[in-house]
Structures are given as C-alpha cells and as structure tokens.
Amino acid sequence: MSDTNIDAKPFASSTQSSSVVYPKIINHIAVSVSDIDQAIKWYKEVLGFTMVAGPVEFVADDSLIGRALRDIHGPDLKKMRVAWLGSGNQVGFEIFEYIEPKAQRRQENFEYWKSGFTHICITDPNFEDLCIKILDSGGKLRSSPWEIVPNKGYKIVFCEDPFGNIIEIYSNGYEQTITSL
C-alpha cells in the first residue's frame, strides 16, 4: 500500500500499558466532498460549524506531510485540500477534497450492509427547523422523521448533505434517547 516502511510493532507491548479502560474522546470526524468551498459554506450556514483552519492544499511530495499523505492514502494520491471546522461540543469536523485523483460523488452512498462508518449524527432540539434548512440548501431527507420515543417526543431522521454524506439528526441527546427506547 505504501512506499514507506512501517514498523509492525511501533508501540510497547499491551502488557506494559494501564489496565484501566475509560471512555475515549472522539476527536474529529472527516468527510470527503467534491467541492470543499461549497461544503465549508454549507456546514457553516446549515449546521453552524465554525472555521478552525484552512482550506489548505497538500501535495504528496517528499516533505514530511507529503510522505505522511502517501503512507495514509497510498501511492495514488497526489494532491488534496483540507478544511478544519469545529462543532458545538468541540468535536472536530474535517472536510477533504481529493484533487488528484479527482473526488467523485458515490452513486450508492449508503451501503449499510458493508462494514465501515455509515453516518454522523447531529443533536438539535430545533429538529424540524434543521430538516427544513437541510432541504432548502440542497440536502435531502433519506427517511421520514420518526418519533422514536413517542411518550417523550424524541425524534430522529436521516438526511443527506448536498455532497452525499449521511447525517442523522436526534432531537435529544444520545444517551437520553437510547436509554428511553
């Protein structure tokens, strides 16, 4: 996959690490799009994300970052752009636009039967308003809105951004919703 040598055991044995298991923090989520400038605008205007940095163009050359890009993405990647946004709870949101090879929108973007990440989920108590905003800005609904916990009014819906990425919306917090099912 890569033209660099990877040490198969770059870290100390797990027997030397702490045996305490604790909930890890989700640092960021990344999506790829075919137009990073439009995606930045959409995620800022529709989901209220804030700009942290970028967009920046990276080239898979012999620089440190270039070598890392080749190691992570493989030898076919030549050039990409990245933007870093922030969400309301400090989970980062990265947007990638692959330039060479050119990004292509998937035709079948919700292959739920295949392993891997399937969607991100946003919590917004203004559930209906966010759905309307997504529709009005080029996104679409992938499902009907569901009042998943009827006696409490907790709702969910699956949407899609204009770039083909799946976004679920909860009207209430994650643990609050799941423990009420």
- CATH number of the domain encompassing residue 154: 3.10.180.10
Total number of domains constituting the chain: 2
Residues 35 and 93 in one domain: yes
CB 154 within 8 A of CB 180: yes
Residues 37 and 100 in one domain: yes
Per-residue pLDDT tens digits for 43-95: 999 999 999 999 999 999 999 999 999 999 999 999 999 999 999 999 999 99
Residue corresponding to tokens 């969607």? 119
How confident is residue 105, by pLDDT bands cut at 50, 70 and 90?
A: confident
How confident is residue 19, by pLDDT bands cut at 50, 70 and 90?
A: confident
Residue 165 lies in a domain: yes
- Beta-carbon contacts of 119 under 8 Å, excluding residues fewer than 6 positions away, are 158, 165, 166, 167, 168
Residues 32 and 100 in one domain: yes
**Domain with 175 in it:** 119-181
Residue 110 lies in a domain: no
pTM: 0.83
> Which residue among 104, 133, 159 closes a domain?
104
Residue 7 lies in a domain: no
